[in-house]
A and B are shown apart, each in its own frame.
Chain A
């Protein structure tokens, strides 16, 4: 079984520019957004890591002051029983990142949800539509500066 340091070494071979968040559980590696697909592909294929399951994919808005967004990937390897969290920091305006739905197909719906709630664009996603909200809803509700529309189909949104 790999420990976290060995895992960081494997990721370091692909990206030099990484940071580590030791406080997170499971421990997190923060990587630049352009490298996400390469890193995921390596972690998925490498026979010593073999992260075959994407447990959770989510996004976070850090608020208007920080003006950044994050995408968080929780990976899990069933045969080795180890976890890792990958974090990617994106700009607050027009956040874009490569889709990982080719690697784990479960990412398809999770990325749609992140798009639905935060407006993050996943490049290369096969079917990027809203998933939980109606297609003609305005705005991205989980952004910290979100203000809901006044009327939706002549129904007052505020109740």
Chain B
């Protein structure tokens, strides 16, 4: 066989040689064993590999091994102009692309100094699509979490409702998951005619479904038994580990960048920030985190309703409105370092830019991924639990490996 056709020679130790275990088999004591979880296992939510050192059935230590979905985001971002980075940003957190795009676009706009000149309609559409995507992302989180725990039906329910959101978003830009819709300085298109009405219809449809989901899954006694008092994350530990988003709020801190930083049009909108109260167990347990996500869906629905009202009354669609009017022909920020952050469904998504002032390409673009920091707390909170509880803890973190590995 010609050698140039052989792509890969199988060697039995390839997996362990490329990512060696931290613990060695010959160093184990009686009753101890190493269990390898993943990288291909549905309950690890992607390609996460966990090396678990166990003593009988009790977990002594968990070592995450990452990088199976590393796609060189930062290297790519250093080789293409600012506007062309957006599709790569989509592919980081692929279930909440709109939110990531929003954060990225906002950062570059602030560097250019055009962030406060955008038309209000553009801002409201951005918030509208971002909140729709936030609901879709939380649906995935809750649905797959239910499935990890053993509840199969709610997964189908949330996928059915998420499908409506994906269709709405597909209608705006033509793509179901990776949108490239929010551009630096504007949007790809205005939202299509009739979108507001369809969206209102969807909100009306969604509201009873949410309480249905809450009854069947969140309040379900079996679900509560599996998640309450499991994986308790104390607040100081969460902050020290850089944990953000629903995980931090689940631990009882009312901290949401939409309120704290008050970016975009969020200060004009009325919504609450739910926090974990330990209703079924301890503050900061798995149940609290899921409950916070559920409540956030309600808040997102509120925001969507307000956005729709604004888009239909104050900032109506007009013939003159051009969503690309502010899009700069040449994106060349002055030489500076810039850190921007925004609230993604999973936490604080930050971008660190260094612009050299001479080129249209970022000199350095670092993504501070929320799932990455959230995952780093896993070894800490899963010591001394059972394997089944480890699965419950992983699910409650709401990982997207695309974002962890970038």
From B150-158, B239-247, B314-322, the one touching the partner chain is: B239-247
Given contacts A104-B240, A154-B6, A154-B8, contact A135 B339 (CB under 8 A): no
Given contacts A55-B242, A56-B368, contact A23 B8 (CB under 8 A): no
Contact flags B8-33 to A (C-beta < 8 A → 1, else 0): 11010010011110100000000000
CB-based nearest A residue for B67: A132
> A95 to chain B: which residues have CB within 8 Å?
none
> A35 to chain B: which residues have CB within 8 Å?
none
A16 on interface, CB distance cutoff 8 Å:
no
Q: Which of A53, A54, A72, A133 contacts B352 (CB 8 A)?
A: A72
Which residues in window 76-90 of B have CB below 8 A to A? Answer: 78
Q: Which of A28, A135, A141 contacts B20 (CB 8 A)?
A: A135
B120 on interface, CB distance cutoff 8 Å:
no
B146 on interface, CB distance cutoff 8 Å:
no
Contact flags B356-369 to A (C-beta < 8 A → 1, else 0): 00000001101010
Q: How near does chain A come to B359, taking the closest CB pair, in angstroms?
A: 12
Q: How near does chain A come to B11, taking the closest CB pair, in angstroms?
A: 8
Which residues in window 116-159 of A have CB below 8 A to B? Answer: 117, 127, 130-136, 141-142, 153-155
> B110 to chain A: which residues have CB within 8 Å?
25
Contact flags B366-388 to A (C-beta < 8 A → 1, else 0): 10100011001000100000000
Give Cα A108–Cα B405 distance, bound, in whole angstroms: 16
Please state if A55 and B67 are interface contacts (CB–CB under 8 Å). Answer: no
Max chain A Cβ within 10 angstroms of own Cβ: one of B253, B348, B364, B366 = B366
Q: How many residues belonging to A are interface residues under a CB distance threshold of 8 Å?
A: 39
CB-based nearest A residue for B376: A109
> B240 to chain A: which residues have CB within 8 Å?
52, 104-106
A34 on interface, CB distance cutoff 8 Å:
no
Please state if B376 and A85 are interface contacts (CB–CB under 8 Å). Answer: no
A88 on interface, CB distance cutoff 8 Å:
no
> B354 to chain A: which residues have CB within 8 Å?
60
Q: How near does chain A come to B305, taking the closest CB pair, in angstroms?
A: 29
Give Cα A154–Cα B11 distance, bound, in whole angstroms: 11
Contact flags B387-402 to A (C-beta < 8 A → 1, else 0): 0000000000000000
A68 on interface, CB distance cutoff 8 Å:
no
Contact flags A54-72 to B (C-beta < 8 A → 1, else 0): 1110101000000000001
Please state if A133 and B70 are interface contacts (CB–CB under 8 Å). Answer: yes
Give Cα A142–Cα B362 distance, bound, in whole angstroms: 13
> A54 to chain B: which residues have CB within 8 Å?
242
Category for how many chain B residues contact A: 35 or more
> A1 to chain B: which residues have CB within 8 Å?
none
Please state if A21 and B337 are interface contacts (CB–CB under 8 Å). Answer: yes
Q: Which of B7, B368, B376 contacts A155 (CB 8 A)?
A: B7
CB-based nearest A residue for B340: A25
B255 on interface, CB distance cutoff 8 Å:
yes
Please state if A81 and B242 are interface contacts (CB–CB under 8 Å). Answer: no
CB-based nearest A residue for B372: A109
A78 on interface, CB distance cutoff 8 Å:
yes
Please state if B239 and A52 are interface contacts (CB–CB under 8 Å). Answer: yes
Interfacial residues, chain A to chain B (CB-CB below 8 A):
21, 23-26, 28, 52-56, 58, 60, 72, 74, 78, 81, 83, 85, 87, 104-106, 108-109, 117, 127, 130-136, 141-142, 153-155
Interfacial residues, chain B to chain A (CB-CB below 8 A):
6-9, 11, 14, 17-20, 22, 66-67, 70, 72, 74-75, 78, 110, 239-243, 253, 255, 260, 334-341, 348, 350, 352, 354, 363-364, 366, 368, 372-373, 376, 380, 405-406
Listed from nearest, the 4 A-B pairs whose CB atoms lie closest are: A106-B242, A134-B18, A24-B337, A132-B67
A132-B406, A155-B7 given; name 9 further pairs at CB < 8 Å. Answer: A23-B337, A25-B336, A52-B240, A55-B242, A56-B339, A74-B352, A132-B67, A135-B19, A153-B8
Task: Provide a sorted-by-A list of 19 A–B residue pairs whose CB atoms are within 8 angstroms.
Answer: A21-B337, A24-B338, A25-B336, A25-B339, A54-B242, A60-B354, A74-B352, A85-B337, A85-B339, A87-B337, A105-B380, A106-B376, A127-B22, A130-B67, A132-B405, A134-B67, A142-B78, A153-B11, A155-B7
